[in-house]
Amino acid sequence: MLLSRQGFKFFAYISISALISLTMWMLILLPEFLVSQKWSDQKIGWVIGIFFIVSLFSRILAGHLADNIGNVPTALIGVVVSIGGCGFYWLSLHWPDTLFIARALHGAGTALVSGGALFHLVQSVPQEIKGRVMGYFGLPGFIMMAVGPFFAEALRTFWGMKGMYTVILLNFLVIGFILKRLPRPLAPRGTRRATFIHAFKRNFPSLKPVIFFAFCFSLGFSSWNSFLAPTVSWLGTGAVSAFGVGYGVGALTTRLGLSQWLDTGKKRLISISSLIFYGGGLALIPHASYAWHLGLIGFLCGMSHGIYYPALSSIAAERFHPLHTSNAMSLYLSAGNIGMFLGPPLWGFIGDRAGTIWIFAFAGLLVLISTLIFVVTHSWPPAHKIFWTMPRRLNRNL
């Protein structure tokens, strides 16, 4: 009975992860729609980025709520907030600037729902497989990365943007239905946790290299997440879907195979090194001449992503303080949100002034350089001491 209960929780949370990801990847066409509404690239960047800055603070809140009221109630609060965001998505069809409110509520709700789910999964497994479990939780996201754009293009063709907004609402209603049927009790066990500030002070020094790298990767990732659709729109319907399908298939191929042999010990640095190919793939996006070119580029990037994330999460999990696991996870995951918030307006600024080709060139270079820094400083102790320890000593002397 206990096994069936835990099995139901696992599959329920995987389903929730898939539905959340679908709501996000369907909106990959939103920037293209806003370009047709005469929005500037930088304004588009801000409306995309606000999702992630609100999500950042909501992840921190999710850690506190999960520790004090339970994982499931935290996720249910997120569902309610997200449904409110859907209402503003519909209003944006008449008053476009309400998209900022819609994106903010969507980001907050998504962070609370996914936070409650992920905290439960990671806290219920042994230390040595925490990184792998975090990778499994993100696995449905790669499937939805392939399904979402294709589904969104079909909905936009037959029903317009309101069709996408309606499906997003339905997704959150289904998530709420699943959460209400998760096994009780809902309240967490154990004592109240320390404040986030205290947990930050205990976890940040050891997590600093991981946070830096997660931030840089998400900054590069946000380039295509925000500006792929308007960049390749001249290739016609199916171009975005081709990239999404390629990315999803590549990620699934490695996540279900190679990554499981490369997420322990020093082999993790081999996994992270694969992001060199990711950087190259980003730079190639504007040079694609056919949709199938984007499919190949997406496959290359997806393979790198599928290998890298469990490895980095495994390194991070080793550094979580045992008394502050939820808050430490919030800190690690929030690094990606910062990059996803700052990235879109940054790339929009570059696009407005230099053209989209330079968005992807700089994004690819950023991923390449940050990967080299991380791998070198973790494989060569003197470099680690200089890059990560020396700045802290200088600050103390000052």
pLDDT in tens, 367-386: 999 999 888 887 777 666 66
pLDDT bucket at 186, cuts 50 / 70 / 90: very low
Q: Report which listed range, 130-139, 199-208, 209-218, 308-317, is most confident.
A: 209-218
> How confident is the model at residue 397, as a pLDDT?
46
Task: Just give the CATH number of 2-183+202-397.
Answer: 1.20.1250.20
> How confident is the model at residue 203, as a pLDDT?
62
Side-chain half-sphere of 266: how many Cα atoms within 13 Å? Answer: 5
Does the reported pTM lie above 0.75?
A: no
C-alpha distance from residue 377 to each of 176, 210, 374 (Å): 44, 11, 5
User: Stretch 214-221: mean pLDDT, rounded?
Assistant: 89
> How confident is the model at residue 135, as a pLDDT?
59
pLDDT bucket at 137, cuts 50 / 70 / 90: low
8 A C-beta contact, residue 322 and residue 127: no
User: Stretch 169-188: mean pLDDT, rounded?
Assistant: 76
8 A C-beta contact, residue 112 and residue 58: yes
Q: What is the pLDDT of residues 59-101, one digit of tens each?
A: 778 777 776 777 778 888 999 999 999 999 999 988 989 999 9
- Report which of residues 146 and 81 the model is more confident about: 81
> How confident is the model at residue 117, as a pLDDT?
67
> How confident is the model at residue 79, as a pLDDT?
93
For the chain, give the mean pLDDT: 79
User: Stretch 353-368: mean pLDDT, rounded?
Assistant: 92
- Report which of residues 10 and 193 the model is more confident about: 10
Maximum pairwise Cα distance, the chain:
64
Rounded distance between C-alpha atoms, residue 327 and residue 14, angstroms: 22
255-264, 339-348, 378-387: segment of lowest average pLDDT: 255-264
144's tokens: 């939805």
Q: What are phi and psi of 111, to 5 degrees?
A: -65, -40
> How confident is the model at residue 204, as a pLDDT?
63
161-165, 172-176, 251-255, 283-287: segment of lowest average pLDDT: 251-255
User: Stretch 180-204: mean pLDDT, rounded?
Assistant: 57
Is pLDDT above 90 for 330?
Answer: no
79: burial class by Cβ within 10 Å (0-12, 13-18, 19+)?
buried
| 275 Cβ contact list (under 8 Å, min separation 6) | 217, 304, 308, 367, 368, 371
> How confident is the model at residue 88, as a pLDDT?
94
- Report which of residues 394 and 195 the model is more confident about: 195
Q: List the one residue out of 138, 183, 146 whose CA is nearest residue 8.
A: 183
> How confident is the model at residue 183, as a pLDDT?
61
> How confident is the model at residue 1, as a pLDDT?
39
> How confident is the model at residue 128, as a pLDDT?
55
What is the dihedral angle through the alpha carbons of 280, 215, 370, 355, rounded to the nearest 10 degrees?
40
pLDDT bucket at 7, cuts 50 / 70 / 90: low
User: Stretch 188-197: mean pLDDT, rounded?
Assistant: 52
- Report which of residues 77 and 147 the model is more confident about: 77
Length of the chain: 398
Is pLDDT above 90 for 206?
Answer: no
Is pLDDT above 50 for 398?
Answer: no
Q: What is the pLDDT of residues 109-123, one digit of tens each?
A: 998 888 776 665 666
pLDDT bucket at 3, cuts 50 / 70 / 90: very low
Q: List the one residue out of 120, 93, 89, 99 whose CA is nearest residue 14.
A: 120
8 A C-beta contact, residue 196 and residue 346: no
Q: What is the pLDDT of residues 288-328, one digit of tens each?
A: 999 899 999 999 998 888 888 878 877 777 766 555 555 66
Q: Treating both helix axes as pointing N-terminal to C-terminal, what angle do 41-69 and 325-354 enclose, rounded to 10 degrees?
A: 180
